[in-house]
């Protein structure tokens, strides 16, 4: 879908890398390794995105680091388009609201790092109907043409798990949290 609008595969990869998770930051050589592409093609697209003020850059040691400009007026719209592109918007709408007492949902894995992947990894916290979840995930997979892997935790299990997995949660992205009622 998105490749019909944006002809550069490298630009699409960069948008996914930076605009799915606004905290994502990296440098040129790291992107070369992640994308398995030449530094020249990546540099051209980084410069275009930086010239358009969609990316900010800063120096860290001897590296020029890049990060999404989350203050850009189009940041949220680009983020939403990318969420639709990978199908997360439909998963959230179709799964979370019908599952039971869901407290939080985290995106982990490649997408949380801003990398495209055929697999969406989720962590769901709360008391959920697992049989219903399996049924909904199967439907969502057909709808979005991606595999969905998930872990479910009750609140107390999640606290124990997250305490022992700090590095893991540093690379995860909170997708949804139950509103606190007044």
Please state the rounded mean pLDDT for residues 86-94: 67
Q: Kindly write down the DSSP assignment for every residue of 17-54, as one continuous string.
A: HHHSSTT-EEEHHHHHHHHT--HHHHHHHHHHHHHTTS
Per-residue pLDDT band at 46 (split at 50, 70, 90):
very high
pLDDT at 181: 63
pLDDT digit string (tens) for 48-76? 999 999 999 999 999 999 999 999 999 99
Query: In the prediction, which pLDDT does 6 show?
Result: 81
Among 179, 83, 161, 71, residue whose Cα is nearest residue 123: 161
pTM: 0.61
- Reported as a pLDDT band with limits 50, 70 and 90, residue 5 is confident
Distance of CA 12 to the CA centre of its chain: 14
């Amino acid at each position: 879908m998105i490749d019909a609008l944006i002809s550069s595969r490298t630009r699409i990869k960069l948008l996914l890398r930076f605009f799915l998770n606004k905290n994502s930051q990296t440098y040129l050589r790291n992107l070369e390794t992640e994308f398995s592409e030449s530094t020249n093609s990546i540099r051209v697209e980084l410069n275009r995105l930086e010239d358009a003020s969609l990316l900010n850059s800063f120096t860290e040691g001897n590296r020029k680091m890049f990060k999404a400009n989350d203050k850009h007026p189009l940041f949220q719209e680009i983020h939403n388009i990318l969420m639709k592109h990978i199908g997360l918007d439909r998963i959230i709408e179709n799964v979370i609201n019908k599952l039971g007492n869901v407290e939080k949902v985290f995106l982990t894995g490649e997408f949380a790092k801003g990398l495209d992947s055929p697999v969406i990894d989720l962590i769901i916290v709360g008391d959920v109907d697992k049989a219903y979840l399996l049924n909904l995930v199967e439907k969502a997979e057909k709808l979005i043409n991606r595999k969905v892997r998930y872990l479910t935790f009750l609140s107390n299990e999640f606290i124990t798990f997250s305490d022992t997995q700090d590095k893991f949660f540093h690379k995860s992205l909170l997708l949804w949290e139950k509103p606190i009622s007044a």
